Amino acid sequence: MPDTSIPTAIAGTRHDHSRCISTAMTTARSLCAQKGVRLTELREQVLNLIWQSHKPLGAYELMEQLARETTRRVAPPTVYRALEFLLEQGLVHRINSLNAYVGCTHPRQEHATNFLICRHCGVAIEFASVPLESSLQASADELGFVIEAHSIEVVGSCKRCTDQGVASHEH
């Protein structure tokens, strides 16, 4: 079995991103094969474009890049359908506060959408936390609410940007 996940929170650090890309693509292919769903060329192209960085990418930016890459016109439904597929398979997440999409770093596990998003460099860092999930569950239990899904989007400054003092150069 191929590599199956990308180290937690690598997004916020210096790292060899080409490894992120290849790991993500390999995992995606194997995961789709396993589930018996088709990772078509288009879907793979879209996933690959999304994985070019850890910054969430808007559907229309994606569309432009896809058009450039394929040298033909690409209409919105094309990318939205690919995104829909990738979301269903858990290969990408949607960042609601940004209307943008980012690759999932551990698509094999069922999990919620928890992100730290840097206001300065734009990076979205996926994270998980057992205590966080339990206290969320406790809050819901208290009110008799049955959780089906959740998304946490934290905005702030990542370590790199804070260390570089980017946060202090603000207008």
Partner DNA sequence: TTGGAAATGTTATATAATAACACGTTCACC
Partner DNA sequence: GGTGAACGTGTTATTATATAACATTTCCAA
Does 82 sit near DNA (CB under 7 A)? yes
Give the orientation angle of helix 17-35 with respect to helix 41-50, to 10 degrees. 150
Structure tokens, 124: 């979205």
CA–CA gap between residue 136 and residue 147 (Å, rounded): 9
Determine which helix (DSSP H) or strand (DSSP E) holds 113, and give its type and residue range: strand 113-118
- Residue from 25, 92, 118, 124 binding Zn ion (CB under 5 A): 118
CA–CA gap between residue 130 and residue 48 (Å, rounded): 30
State the binding string over 127-166 for a copy of itself (x if CB under 8 A, else -).
x-x-xx--xx-xxx--xxxxxxxxxxxxxxxxx--xx---
- Residue from 5, 9, 61, 90 binding a copy of itself (CB under 8 A): 9
Residue 147 phi/psi, 5-degree rounding, is -80, 130
- Residue from 16, 18, 71, 77 binding DNA (CB under 7 A): 77
Q: Give the CA diameter of the chain.
A: 55
- Nearest approach, Cβ of residue 147 and DNA (Å): 22
Q: Binding residues for DNA, per CB under 7 A?
A: 37-38, 40-43, 58-61, 72-78, 80-82, 84-85, 94, 99
| Residues at the interface with a copy of itself (CB under 8 A) | 9, 12, 96-97, 114, 116, 118-119, 125, 127, 129, 131-132, 135-136, 138-140, 143-159, 162-163, 167
